[in-house]
Amino acid sequence: MSLISPESGFALWAVLLGGAAFAAWAEHTRWGHRLSGVLIAILLAMVLSNLRLIPQSSGVYDSALEYLVPVAIPLLLFDANLRRIVRETGRMMVVFLVGTVGTVAGAVVGVHLIDLGESAPELAGVFSATYIGGGLNFVSVAQATGFTDGSQMSASVAADNLVTALYIVAVMALPSIAWLRRLIPSPLEDREEAAFAADEAEEGAEAPRPGTDGPAPAHGPPPPFRIFDACLALALAFAISALGFAVAERLGVPDFAILFITAFALVPANVFPALTRHLTGHMELGMIAVYMFLFVLGATADVWSMIGSALPITLFALVIVGVHMVVTVAVGGLLRFDLAEIIIASNACVGGSSSAGPIAAARGWRELVTPGILLGAFGNAIGTFIGVALTRWLGG
């Protein structure tokens, strides 16, 4: 029994939205930013459900799982203009694609090295998707493959956050490795170091390091929120979801509805860019849906089951990012890419736009900020397809 019964629909929807609000708020605090709103949403729900304040199963959860992810996908992909991405990322797209191959290779290696049980294909799919795209792809692949075990999903998100943090520390240390700089030169980092040395000589040791005054804004101030735009974005998202499910059902492959929705979600930004270019509010609405979905997953998780599966899943994630880093750096070096380009393209894979852009700005590599952000968006566009394909292939 729980304090709020499974039949208390209004109360449970209030809890779901309240949990999403708390996760979004915490994301902007110092401690919450380190954990990420994604992990906070799951942990909060786990605490509430395992203390029996909310139920671990309910028809409300079933409705949320059915509708939230399909609607979130279009809302979060309305800005994914592939032509712009290819045009503005230039040669870094090659490194990003090499990193994508490294991620898939790491997932395959990890499945053969670590005993993940019957969930190995699904875990390979969700982790390859998130280390090519991001959290949206993680939940999309989970939905498409029927991987909704709350305990394992919670352990997976916790492992993903830990390993991503370790990866960012490791990859940002690469320019400090002397022998690697000799093998893979970085004119961008050399220029930034020379500018820093010049500033120190002129202004003293207290001079700020170029670029460390915060990330350069990529798109300027956000446009004002308009009710018309929000309603239009929701209408398009629901229409795209309905079309995706209808086509999948018509073709006799209902399990692949998420893939059709993802494909159709790319149409407005790439075929009718004028329709979505000035939309406002769709990213925020999409993130609300994602936070609520993750809160539901946390509510259905059993703490002891999660702890039991956390170690092998964490090791699996470490293998994936380890292989990804080795492949990306080695091949990028052989192709004579700048080490800074390799680092930001790799960040766009594993950390996504929210990592690649700010890190490029913080290091003083200003010309890599926009390519890093756009490559992260490209990963969102392709990650789900690759994750589902890998799951099907490994699952036979």
Tell me the pLDDT of the chain (396 aa) as tens digits.
789 999 999 999 999 999 999 988 987 887 876 666 777 888 898 889 889 999 988 999 989 888 888 898 888 888 778 787 778 777 889 999 999 999 999 999 999 999 888 889 999 999 999 999 888 889 889 888 888 777 788 888 888 877 887 888 788 788 888 888 889 888 877 777 676 566 656 655 444 444 433 433 444 556 677 889 889 999 999 999 999 999 989 998 786 788 888 889 888 888 888 777 778 888 889 888 888 887 887 887 767 666 777 889 999 999 999 999 999 999 999 998 989 899 999 988 998 876 687 677 667 787 887 788 788 888 988 999 999 999 999 986
Q: Does residue 3 lie within any of the structural domains? A: no
Q: Does residue 375 lie within any of the structural domains? A: yes
Tally the domains of the chain. Answer: 1
Q: Does residue 66 lie within any of the structural domains? A: yes
Q: Does residue 107 lie within any of the structural domains? A: yes
Q: Does residue 1 lie within any of the structural domains? A: no
Q: Where in the sequence is the domain holding 20, given as residue range(s)?
A: 9-394
Task: Tell me how far apart the alpha carbons of residues 16 and 136 are, in angstroms, rounded to a whole number.
Answer: 18
Q: Does residue 22 lie within any of the structural domains? A: yes
Structure tokens at 214: 């915060």
Note if the pTM is more than 0.75. no
CB burial string 201-224: b at 16+ within 10 A, e below: eeeeeeeeebbeeeeeeeeeeeee
Q: Does residue 2 lie within any of the structural domains? A: no
Q: Does residue 4 lie within any of the structural domains? A: no
pLDDT of residue 342: 92
Among residues 329, 380, 334, 333, the alpha carbon closest in space to that of 354 is found at 380
